[in-house]
Structure 1
Amino acid sequence: MSEVTVGPNTFGYGADRKTRWGIRIWLDGVQGDATYKFEPDPASKIKEKDAAKFYLQVATAIGTSYNGANAFPPVGTTVTTRLAGDVRLDAY
């Protein structure tokens, strides 16, 4: 698992690849997490060697959203990444 600090909060995150690319993210020291799959699936745009950078970009965007609302973004939220452009966070 990896970590990213966004503002005052540190988030843990990891790839969740049940059937397609997704992410599990949580706030360190707080119970609960969020799991999303990506739509469209970025696997066709991102090489495996760039996956860690992509997940860091998504985790940072989710962390920024969390800090603004004090909650993980709802399903259907779109985040923008440098590697894959706009990616919608869907439910698994």
Structure 2
Amino acid sequence: MGEIRRLPELREGDWDWQMSAACRGQDTATFYHPENERGPSRARREMQAKAVCSGCPVVQSCLRWALAAREPYGVWGGLSVEERERLITARSA
């Protein structure tokens, strides 16, 4: 079970953006890698997820949430886990 104490406190409307997300109703396997996925398979899947994100009207809200929550899995806001971690590290430097 995930650690929820670290999540930002929710306010009314914080999740409204999800109703307009381009990924809504799509297969979550596109956005979250299966165990032991590596190399070209992972790169292909992440490219597919990012393609969905590129046309999303709420991509910035999604990314803000993922960064605030330090979301440890999946493609959120058009960025992979590693890309989000690099962004967080750069912001704190």
Q: TM-score when scaled to structure 1?
A: 0.29
Kindly name which structure, 1 or 2, has the bigger radius of gyration based on alpha carbons.
2
Q: TM-score when scaled to structure 2?
A: 0.29
Between Structure 1 and Structure 2, which shows a larger proportion of helix residues? 2
Structure scoring higher RCO (CA < 8 A, sep ≥ 6) equals 2
